[in-house]
Every structure is written in C-alpha cells, then in structure tokens.
Structure 1
Amino acid sequence: MDLLRATLNGADLSATVPTCPDWTLAQLARHSGGAVRWSERLVTTRAEENIPPQDVPAAGGPDGDDPAALDAWLAETAALGTKTFRDAGADASAWSWTDDHTAGFWARRMTHELAIHRSDAAIAVGVAYEVAPDVAADAIDEWLDIVRFVQRHVPDDSAAELKGAGRGSIHLHATDAPEGLDAEWLIEFGDDGFTWRRGHAKAAVALRGPLTEVLLAFYRRRPVDGGQVEVVGDRELLDFWLERATFG
C-alpha cells in the first residue's frame, strides 16, 4: 500500500486510468483501499459468509476530494490490514469466494491486488513500475489458479472456452529471474479445461521478457506488441488465452 501511495503522491487524482478506463486515479485508490478493508473485515470477524462491502466500516474512503485525506485513509487501511493479517495467522478461518477459506488466502490476494493496481496507477501517471520477483511470480501462479477456478465454476464466463486438447500449449518465460526462482510456466489445454505447472518446456507459443513485463502482459496491463516482451510461435493461441482469461 505504501508503494501505491507513493505512486499517487502529487498525481492528478481526477485523471483516467488507461488500464481501468471506467476509473479515475481517485476511484482506483478507493477501490484498492476498500478491497483491503473488506478482506480485513472478513478475517477479523472470522466470517463464515460474505460480508457486503457496504457493511464494512469506512470501506468507501473519506468524504470529499481532498488528496491528503485519501492518502491518510490509505495509510490507516494499510496499518489495519497488516495488523489483522499478522495477528490472525495464515490458517485462521475466513470466508472467501474460492475453496480456500483462510486468512492466508486473503493476505495473498490483497498482495497481488495492490501490486496490479499499483501498475495501473504507474501507467496512468507515467512512472516506472517494478514488483519484487517473488511477488510477481506468485501473482502469475495465483492468476492461473483464479482463471481455472472461474473456468470450473462459472460456466457462462469466457474462461470456460479455455479448453481443447488440440490447441497446443503456452509457455511463459521470465528472462531476468534471480537464481533459484523458477519463473517459467507451461499452460496445457485439455478437453475439460487447462492445467499449468512451473518449469521449462517447448510450447506452441512462448511469451518471453522481464518478469515484471511478463506479469503485466499476462494480466493485460500492457500490450504484447509494446516492445517489452517477445512472442515466439502461435500468436493466435496467446491472443485466444488473453481474450478469455478473466476474473469472473
């Protein structure tokens, strides 16, 4: 959250976010803080069912458009979330929309939520963006699990189309991963859906580049033709994935 606050510091909060065109920077900040407040409430109450966001105290942020008040709310939100997640421990029970009903799920989800929305803010402001390699790699892991969950449980979502044993496979390859971080992935399609695993393998198409840029391209935050990543092989298969991989 502190990195998001730093990115927003001094920015025109009324500016539109290109990667989330329905939002301004102020709305992006309120969404991000609200998500942390909501997940924190689920954990602190050990919720057994969903809590509507409108029932979460201060989830909408401060009244008015004062940037200082918004920043103070984000700082308070960060402190609240950090304390709750640390005090609860990863195994504490908390409702979630997945099969994993633990505080650890929410701590991980919010880490990646903030990392991706910080990229949205950085792109809107026009500043450089980097994310820690282990966070970027785990964000790709989680994104693949989310898309697979949506595919299996939301049959009318476009992710349900990510199947077909004859389609080939997709390889993601971070070219700058530090030693010891296995930052390569293989996605394989079957008749019932897709599977994925970490590791190097030949595939019908490969998306290659710095880890941060692979993450942003895979999350559709940067275009694959923007020069930061390289596509080798069946571009239509990669586009097929990118057009259908959704978060519900």
Structure 2
Amino acid sequence: MTDSLQYSALLQLIDERSAAFRSAVAAAPGLDAPVPSCPEWTLFDLVHHLGTGQRWWAAIVAAGPAEAPPAKDAAEPPRDLDTLLAWYDDSHELLLNTLREAGPERECWAWWSAGLSPANARGVARRRVHEVLVHTYDAQLAAGAVQPMPADVAIDGVAEFLDTCNSTPAAWPHEPATIHYHAAEGRSWLLTLDDTGAWPAPLPHDAAPPSASAAGTAEQLLLFVWGRLTLNDLTIQGDQQVFEQLIAWEPEE
C-alpha cells in the first residue's frame, strides 16, 4: 500500500469534508440543481447517494468480517432541504461513530479486498474521505462555487485510488505497460500493468521510461482518475491508448 494518512487524520478529514459538502448543498440554488460532473443527477440525488453510502459502510464496519455486505437501506430520504441535511448529518455521524468504535484494524467486507487497500476500518475510512472529497467538488460545481482541494488530501486521494481501484491480481488483457503519474506538488506514482495484474507503487528514482505518463496538479490527477476531468485536461506523454484501455478495463477476479 502506498503512503496513507493516520487513522485519526482520516476521521477528521471525513468530518471536515462532510462539512464542506453540507455547505455546498446549502448554498446551491435548489435540490433540483443539475450536477454537471454526474450526468442525469440532481443535487438531491447526490446527497441521497453520499448519505446512503455513509450508512451502508457504517453497517459494513459494524458487521465485521463477512463474505457479503449487508443490504443497503432502500428508504428514500426527505426532499426538503433542512430535513435532508439533518438526514445527511445523521448518516455522517453514524459512520464516524462506527469507525471510532471499531478502531483501524477491525476487519470487514470490502469490494477491494484482492488489491492493496486493506479490508478493514482503515481502508473504509480512507475510501470515504475521498468519496466525500470528490462529491464535495460535485456539489460545489452544482452550486457554482468550486473551492480548491487541500493539496495533501488530493495527493493521498490519487494514491488511494490507485491502491483501491487500480490494484488487482486480474491479468491485464493488453500488452504489458507502465504508467507514471506526476503531481506538480512533487509526488509521483508508478502503475504496472501485466499478466500478474495491476500494481501501483511510489515512483522510484531509477524508473524506466513509461508507456505513458500524466502530469498535473494533485487535484487535477484526482479528478481525472475519478472521471471528472479528461486526458485533455492533463499533460500526457507516450501512448495515450494505454490510458484509454485502463479506463475501459473491467477486470474479473
């Protein structure tokens, strides 16, 4: 696993980013405002998605080790702003309290268990930080007032995405390749793609030239891997097709 923030810092960031998300929702023109970065979603849909996710992961962590996750709560939240925000606050507090009580090493079900991210409360906390971080960007975009992400959080967000979403023992179905990601803040990562799977790591100083590379700020890289920006928003070198293959890849383990 690439470098990660401490557990206490992750819990604090969930709290801080959730407050920023809530502020963006409250400042938006209405719950029916479209979310440009999430096609066909309104702001209500975004709050519903994030709040339901917080409740679901709280239930997953509380359940401990399991072969399958508990069912998601199918109930739709209220549609007026004040009551919806109160529902979201309850969802947020439920997740935070569950993570605090569990401690970082509590094992639990996780869809990323075959990769580098741990299937425990620490892995869940780290994933939820960046889920809230990116959805705060979505909400701010809907409200017309996007704020810069904290650089250190965006840096960890790139590493977390690689650890969680781009690490797998499933064989890469194309020619072996390497990708370098370079953040303007001074951090870089290597992603190796071959018949052993996809494996990220910090970029070594003596790394061979990659098949392709992407450079930008940490925030730009994070928004790219989360599908909010495109290759046109970054500085790309090498074989652009490798990125296109990675974006389209749905590995079966």
- Equivalent residue, structure 1, for 2:246: 241
State the distance in 2 between where 1:60 and 1:3 align.
Answer: 25
State the distance in 2 between where 1:15 and 1:162 align.
Answer: 40
1:197 CA displacement: 1.3
Aligned: 1:62 with 2:81: no
1:148 CA displacement: 4.2
Aligned: 1:225 with 2:236: no
User: Of 50, 59, 81, which aligns to 2:69?
Assistant: 50
Aligned: 1:8 with 2:25: yes
Aligned: 1:204 with 2:211: yes
The C-alpha deviation readout for 1:77-108, integer Å capped at 9, x for no partner, is 22222222112201123232343442222212
Q: Could you tell which deviates more after superposition, 211-220 or 73-82?
A: 73-82
The DSSP-based 3-state class of the residue aligned with 1:225 is: helix
The DSSP-based 3-state class of the residue aligned with 2:228 is: coil
User: Of 101, 117, 127, which aligns to 2:145?
Assistant: 127
User: CA contact under 8 A between 2:185 and 2:218: conserved in structure 1?
Assistant: yes
In the TM superposition, 1:146-165 aligns within 5 A as: 146-148=164-166, 152=170, 163-165=174-176
The C-alpha deviation readout for 1:41-81, integer Å capped at 9, x for no partner, is 22234363411003xxxx74533x21111111122222222
In the TM superposition, 1:72-221 aligns within 5 A as: 72-99=86-113, 100-148=118-166, 152=170, 163-165=174-176, 168-177=177-186, 183-199=187-203, 201=207, 202-221=209-228
Give the paired residue count: 227
Change (3 A) 1:47 1:189: closer
- Equivalent residue, structure 2, for 1:156: none
Bigger relative CO (Cα 8 Å, ≥ 6 apart): 2
State the distance in 2 between where 1:41 and 1:74 align.
Answer: 16
The C-alpha deviation readout for 1:146-171, integer Å capped at 9, x for no partner, is 3345662xxxxxxx655422xx4211
Cα-Cα RMSD: 2.7
Percent identity reads 29
Gaps of 5+ in 2: 1-17
State the distance in 2 between where 1:162 and 1:123 align.
Answer: 36
User: CA contact under 8 A between 1:61 and 1:73: conserved in structure 2?
Assistant: no
State the distance in 1 between where 2:169 and 2:71 align.
Answer: 24
For normalisation by structure 1, the TM-score amounts to 0.79
The C-alpha deviation readout for 1:171-221, integer Å capped at 9, x for no partner, is 1100124xxxxx211122223433221125432322111110111112221
Gaps of 5+ in 1: 153-159, 178-182
Aligned: 1:37 with 2:60: no
Change (3 A) 1:150 1:125: farther
1:222 CA displacement: 1.2
